[in-house]
Amino acid sequence: MRVRSLFLLSLLFAFSAAADETANLCELIRLWTAVRYYQPYLYDRDIDWDAAFVAAVPKVRYAQSDAERTEALRAMLAVTGDAITSTRAAYAAPTENAARTADGVLYLDFRQFEGFEGAMRLSDREEEVAKQIEDAKSIVVDMRTGKPDAEFFVLEELPVVRDSSQPAQRQIMHSGYRPQDDGSSRGYYTAFFTVPKKTWTKTTDGKRLVFVIDNVTPVPPFVRALQESGAAQIVSEGRMNLAPPQMAVKLMGGYTAWIRIAEPLEAWDGGADVEVAPGEGFDAAKKRLRGPEPQAHARKPVPLPELNWRRDERYADMKSPAVEYRLLAAARMWGIISEFYPYIDLIGDWDAVLPKAVRWMLEAQTEEAYDAAVIKIMRNVADTHTNILGTPTILRLTGGRSPMPIEVKQVEHRWIVTRILDEQAAYGATVGDELLSIDGEPVAHRAERLSEWLTASSPAGLRYRLALRLTAGDEGSTGVALLEKSDGTRRELRAPRKRSYYTTLGKGEAWRLITPEIGYVDLRVLTVSQIDAMMEAMRNTQAIVFDMRGYPNGVATPMIGRFNKRNAKIGAIFRRRLVQAPIGNETNFSIEFRQELPTSEKWKYAGETFMLVDEQAISQAEHTAIWMKVASGTKFVGTPTAGADGDVTWFYLPGGLRVSFTGHDVRHADGRQLQRVGIEPDLKVAPTVAGIRAGRDEVLEAAIALATQTLRKPAPYHPKS
């Protein structure tokens, strides 16, 4: 029994130590992330913030106390070279004193009005305090809270005897996540922005004002502005805390980390009017009131460096990164998604992913385990735009990128060949064959295995990804597919895998007339240079069926104006995260804009429009669809699309891994959600195995039948039999 008890105790101790280790590292990652995206010094000075993280990992990981862990965090923050960005212990405010008036001097304890609760307390005594201020010749304001996070929202109730102003400040702002290498950023950028100076105009004459403050409470901008203009004086018990705007990050053990979030564009470098020992503030304030009137102090411009945006280091040579760099990978993934992912509300509790990510990275001691951990973390961002590239392990786990010369699609819960990509290489395979296995692995098992490693916005998006990956493998390798014919016989197809097979998907007839009244346009094939010719071919039709069961060639922008018979102005609504420091109690900023539809001076098509859709329609294809809906009232026929739209952006991880994700929240023009929903067909029609084997396109047939109902004088149409 004693041995068993000792064993259980040892397990409990090990579990507790692991939990402490994880909690410590989670705190490190949260703090590192906050500084990474909000502290302006990282964008105008040469600071290796990755190195600071790497150096902090072992100290934080094995810290035995709150004080030891916090000291390690303080050392990391010190790398910024900013004394303001640091950690501090909790403070207790001194006992409040009652307001009193003696010899025409109002001694006003403003500590009782600190914070939101204090502001509400003042509102209950507003008339009383206002009368005291009005009657007083001089005012001594006690602000010695002992709190480094003290905020005063009611200071402006005090009299202003001279025009005063707070200098302009600059802060860092990220408008979406700027990609980490060259390429279209879709408008995502990082920049400094200026918070303009704030001015307080003169409200009264003949009053003297002295503030008494300690060396912990930050001097509010209003108080500093009055001092600089000569409208007030400051008595400080110890060196006063001229802290710039900061944000607080709560730490374990009652500690708080403070992060600079702004830099003044001009400043006066003077301190308090008088500095005294603790407890001597009131006596010093009385003397200042009996002394000469205070003088104004001139500010000087502060020379600040220009923006120096730098790409994150890829550490491409680290195929099996050390634990510090594996945790850096976790920090980048968690921090970037936390701050920038526009659909953060759709992915559940992202904070809960962090401790899992830390444990996975601690355990990932081989290259393969590291790559797998990266995929496991990013799979929590269920988005068909989420992709990870960079190593053979990634390719193996996610199915590779080079397919066999057959296109397959899930039809009636079976994987069916729907197109031959290379007749010679796929000799013996025919459209309608059922795929039973790949390289000896049953297709159902292969699909289930790959599903564990692929990310997708929706079930339709997962089917889209599986269709691309089921037969795929290494470029040039030989794939072995077991196919079953319609008569039940089986044939083994051995064929090379080539990424170039995908190029055949965009070939074929771009348009044709189905009947004199109904046209067909394949948007997977149509190019920009063909638009005018296509329009002329469709001029006399009454309806057009667009095929969008795949990816378009950028034709929406030059084409949409030709179909905007409704004269719609807005095609879609875009939102992206605007990552900047809190302003007061305002947080979680975003920018929204309404995307105007491109126009055209050429003639417009006035007929009805229909569009074939399925899970192969993703991103630009879905965007084309929502434009056509608002411009032409297009009706959709088929099955739901992938549900992933929003201008991809990307970042890198140690080992050279490239991770992409959606950067914009894109919505229908009326505000309806598109992500994870996709385009919902007006008429749901799915192909059947029998139809494919008979050479029929049942979705197209349904669209033609629907279009025929709208014609003024329909002509007969006979589908293939």
- Bridge partner list, 87: 257
Stretch 608-629: mean pLDDT: 97
Residue reference for tokens 């900061």: 246
CA–CA gap between residue 480 and residue 482 (Å, rounded) = 7
How confident is residue 720, by pLDDT bands cut at 50, 70 and 90? low
Pick from 185-189, 584-588, 596-600 the range whose average pLDDT is largest.
Answer: 596-600
Q: For residue 382, is pLDDT > 90?
A: yes
509 has a pLDDT exceeding 80 = yes
Whole-number pLDDT of residue 183: 61
Instruction: For residue 113, give the DSSP letter.
Output: G
pLDDT in tens, 629-668: 999 999 999 999 999 999 999 999 999 999 999 999 999 9
Long-range contacts, 411-415 (Cβ 8 Å, 24+) = 411/686, 411/687, 411/688, 411/689, 411/692, 412/686, 412/688, 412/689, 414/689, 415/443, 415/447, 415/470
- Mean pLDDT to the nearest integer, 184-193: 82
- Look at 14-28, 492-506, 524-538 and tell me which has the smallest mean pLDDT: 14-28
Taking only the tens place, the pLDDT of each residue in 195-204 is 999 999 999 9
The Cα-based distances of 357 to 28, 76, 387 in angstroms read 13, 21, 18
Longest dimension (CA), the chain: 109
**What is the average pLDDT value for the chain, to the nearest integer?**
92
Q: DSSP for 430-448?
A: -TTPEEEEETTEEHHHHHH
Across 527-547, average pLDDT: 97
Q: What pLDDT, on a 0 to 100 scale, did the predictor assign at position 671?
A: 96
> What whole-number distance in Å separates Cα of residue 226 and Cα of residue 235?
13
- pTM of the predicted protein model: 0.90
Using CA atoms, how far residue 205 sits from 101, 208, 209, 230, 288, in Å, is: 19, 9, 11, 13, 18
219-250 tens-digit pLDDT: 999 999 999 999 999 999 999 988 888 888 99
pLDDT (mean) for 702-709:
97
Task: Using the predicted structure, report yes or no on whether residue 539 has a pLDDT greater than 90.
Answer: yes
Asked if residue 651 lies in contact with residue 621, where contact means CB atoms within 8 angstroms, the answer is no
Return the pLDDT at 14: 43
Instruction: Return the higher-pLDDT residue of 135 and 77.
Output: 77
Bridge partner residues of 482 (DSSP): 437, 492
Q: What residues contact residue 95 under an 8 Å CB cut-off, 6+ apart? A: none
| pLDDT tens-digit series, residues 432-449 | 999 999 999 999 999 999
pLDDT of residue 17: 59
If pLDDT is split at 50, 70 and 90, which confidence band does 712 have? low
Which residues does residue 416 pair with via DSSP β-bridges, in sequence order? 409, 434
Token representation of residue 578 = 């605007």
Percentage of the chain beyond pLDDT 90 is: 81
Tokens for 635, please give them.
Answer: 């009706």
pLDDT tens sequence across 666-697 = 999 999 999 999 999 999 999 999 999 999 99
Question: Is pLDDT at 480 greater than 90 in this prediction?
Answer: yes
Please check the confidence at residue 96 and state whether its pLDDT lies above 70: no
| Least confident piece of the model among 133-137, 345-349, 373-377, 533-537 | 133-137
| pLDDT over 60 at 470, yes or no | yes
Question: Residue 211: which pLDDT band, with cuts at 50, 70 and 90?
Answer: very high
Could you tell me the two tokens for 386? 């989420």
Predicted pLDDT at 99: 54
CB neighbour list of residue 683: distance below 8 Å, 6 or more residues apart: 635, 636, 637, 702, 703, 706
Over 80: is that where the pLDDT of 713 sits? no
Looking at residue 187, its pLDDT comes to 86
Report the SS3 class of residue 603: coil
**Region of poorest pLDDT, from 26-30, 110-114, 361-365:** 110-114
Phi, psi of 155 (to 5 degrees): -60, -30
Instruction: Give the model's confidence band at 584: pLDDT under 50 very low, under 70 low, under 90 confident, else very high.
Output: low
pLDDT bucket at 163, cuts 50 / 70 / 90: very high
The pLDDT tens digits of the residues spanning 399-428 come to 999 999 999 999 999 999 999 999 999 999
657 with 390: CB under 8 angstroms?
yes
- The stretch 308-315 carries a mean pLDDT of 94
